[in-house]
Structure 1
Amino acid sequence: MDRFPSLPRESWAPTKETLHRFLQIVGKVRLAASIRRNHWWNVPFHLTGNGITTRPCGPVGDGIVFTVDFDFTTHRLLILTLDGRRVSFPLTGLSVGDFYREFTGALAHLGIRVLPEDPHPFDLPDAARPFAEDDEHAAYDPAAVNRYWTILTQVMLVLEKYAAGYSGKTSPVHHFWHTFDIAVTRFSDRHVAQGLSVDPVTREAYSREVISSGFWFGDERSSPEPAFYSYTAPEPDGLERQPLEPAAARWTQTNGSHLALLPYDDVRTAPDASDSILRFYDTAYAAGARLAGWNEDRLCPGGITDPQASAATRPRPRT
């Protein structure tokens, strides 16, 4: 199996646009039915052995607890309740409007009284059109979706290894349905003052200094093709002049700030692809952390914080 298969954006653009909206519909239900966590950690999807999951949703105490899973091996959506009831339906052959009606109907059938608070796409060109009225987006190529899932899984493993190297506050590795990327975020202890003019989503997400690293599948605004990325917020002066590795990595300006980018196609076929991606994340982190004055003691190579175990794993000098 190709660990990092080719997936140019134009090769699956219609499927990607349809799938993105499927994810947003389910994600908005997750948002409505989950317990709020700092920095919106309750909202994204997590990966499973055959797709992605909302994780259990529902009230604490009385009420129906349920999970929604996308299975990208059989290409079905599955809704499971804690008492063992289930409803599933295929993802193929549906428009976004069809999917919305199938999904909300399945929730009602199970007695789950949760609907998206705002049943419109988030930050997409058709944001004014309700999901239920979208018969335009109806493409679903199972082979392309399987490649997307394969890439998600491999990137998740690289991000888990990267996340293990930091002992400070770190987000889970999670898949964002609103921006269609997978990421992990490291935090410093310093608060970031933001005025009331900043929207509440941003205020919560960036209430602390962050260095976020991840991967997205390409879009028309920031990067037209799949790429690994990293950014520091707030951005320290001179960030864009700091060195990055490997050689294909570069700084790019987007929305008034600088983003470290490593194009997917420049590393996916390399014999040491995972190591190259990790070097990219490490150098981008080092650049932001150094300029922002983060605590260097938070690094823990290999995920080890036990000083005795850490000393035992250090290379011994040759005699």
Structure 2
Amino acid sequence: MFDSDLPYEDWLATKETVHRFAQIVGKLRLSLSVRRNHWWNVPFHLTASGITTRPMGTEPTFAVDLDFLDHRALVTTTSGDRASFGLAGRSVATFHAEFVRVLDGFGIDTSAIREAAPFDLPDADRRFADDTEHDVYDPAAATRYFRTLSDAGLTLEEFAARFSGKTSPVHHFWHTFDIALTRFADASVEHGAETDPVTREAYSREVTSFGFWFGDAQVPYPAFYAYTSPEPEGLAATPLPAGAEWASRGSSHLAIYPLRAARATGDPRAAALDFFETAYLAGARLAGWDIERYRCVDGVTDPHLSASAGAPRH
């Protein structure tokens, strides 16, 4: 697990291309999926070979998978129609053109992505259809990305089993290119009309959130992260495991734990879980959450099972 540090610069060109591929598919997902609280309908979920939108749309109902082992995009309808095309050797523009062509062939509404442009990326003023700049796709780098994503996903799934309250799925956000899990308290958070609607929905309750992302220009290395929102006073003064730190984000702080630091411990999965637990307890205690009420061991809430018995096997 976590067999590589996945240095940011080593696969930056592929990352920039794959990120834009994912945003094209993600914007379609945003348009055609049934809305869920906190935007849970929008992110991708993991498969054994890549990421999937899960089924969406009605006429037809379909799903899109990006396979980072065979390096193909696959569109499948529930009536059995399917089409795929390769990811390597494509610019963002040619990916966009082929994706729209396949969707049109199945009668799928592509109006949301025909003129679409990147979200919160440096070229946000350029349509995907015009992006011939980002055209690097190294299959080996894409596979390393996916395997690291899968390892992070399984680690977050294990961490999710420790909490019995409301929690998000473990899901891969295409806009920020991270994989995340969020825990929710019962307390509502009031936002003014000046707050954008995406933020108002995402943070309508008190949350502690955890995840893994692959780095950016400001933090050029992959890392685990955690934060509490709204941030309670004194959070950034609480201790974190060796190698982790609180990074300022203006009016709030993000706990960051580089993947290389976790790997240096010899057991990166255990190190990441310890980091998540430490950051959670720091935020939840200061925010006044009922920690014992939501404590869970190995996903078991049955009071007749001991903590060591675990879930029954069938």
TM over 0.5: yes
3-state SS, counterpart of residue 282 of structure 1: helix
Task: Report whether the alignment pairs 1:213 with 2:214.
Answer: no
Would the alpha carbon gap of residues 185 and 311 (structure 1) be closer, same or farther in structure 2, given more than 3 Å must change?
Answer: closer
Distance in 1 separating the partners of 2:146 and 2:264 = 17
Within 5 Å, give how 1:168-247 maps onto structure 2.
168-221=165-218, 223-245=219-241, 247=242
2:160 corresponding residue in structure 1: 163
Counterpart residue type for residue 54 of structure 2: R
Would the alpha carbon gap of residues 77 and 209 (structure 1) be closer, same or farther in structure 2, given more than 3 Å must change?
Answer: same
Task: Report whether the alignment pairs 1:254 with 2:254.
Answer: no
Would the alpha carbon gap of residues 140 and 294 (structure 1) be closer, same or farther in structure 2, given more than 3 Å must change?
Answer: same
Q: Given the two structures, how large is their TM-score scaled by the length of structure 1? A: 0.94
Deviations 1:80-124 (A, max 9, x none): 011111111000111111111010111001111233256010000
1:76 corresponding residue in structure 2: 72
Task: Report whether the alignment pairs 1:34 with 2:33.
Answer: yes
Distance in 2 separating the partners of 1:311 and 1:51 = 34
1:282 corresponding residue in structure 2: 277
2:299 corresponding residue in structure 1: 303
3-state SS, counterpart of residue 279 of structure 1: helix
Distance in 1 separating the partners of 2:287 and 2:8 = 34
Structure 1 residue 312 displacement after superposition:
5.5
Distance in 2 separating the partners of 1:194 and 1:127 = 27
3-state SS, counterpart of residue 267 of structure 1: helix
Structure 1 residue 254 displacement after superposition:
1.7
Please point out which of 83, 87, 91 is paired with 2:83: 87
Gaps of 5+ in 2: none
Distance in 2 separating the partners of 1:235 and 1:218 = 23
3-state SS, counterpart of residue 268 of structure 1: helix
Structure 1 residue 295 displacement after superposition:
1.2
Distance in 2 separating the partners of 1:51 and 1:58 = 21
3-state SS, counterpart of residue 88 of structure 1: strand
Deviations 1:162-205 (A, max 9, x none): 00100000000000000000000000011000011000111100
Deviations 1:260-295 (A, max 9, x none): 111111112533211111000000000000000011
For the 8 Å contact 2:300–2:307, the answer to whether it is kept is no
Q: Given the two structures, how large is their TM-score scaled by the length of structure 2? A: 0.95
3-state SS, counterpart of residue 225 of structure 2: strand
Deviations 1:233-284 (A, max 9, x none): 0000000011112x11111112431111111111125332111110000000
Runs of 4+ displaced beyond 6 Å: none
Distance in 2 separating the partners of 1:251 and 1:293 = 20
Counterpart residue type for residue 99 of structure 1: F
3-state SS, counterpart of residue 306 of structure 2: helix
The Cα RMSD (Å) is: 1.3
Gaps of 5+ in 1: 315-319
Distance in 2 separating the partners of 1:218 and 1:35 = 30
Counterpart residue type for residue 218 of structure 1: G
* Range moving further from structure 2, 269-278 or 286-295: 269-278
Instruction: Tell me the matched-pair count.
Output: 308
Aligned-residue identity in percent = 56
Distance in 1 separating the partners of 2:249 and 2:92 = 30
Structure 1 residue 48 displacement after superposition:
0.3
3-state SS, counterpart of residue 278 of structure 1: helix
For the 8 Å contact 2:173–2:179, the answer to whether it is kept is yes
Deviations 1:121-159 (A, max 9, x none): 000011010110011000001001100001011111110
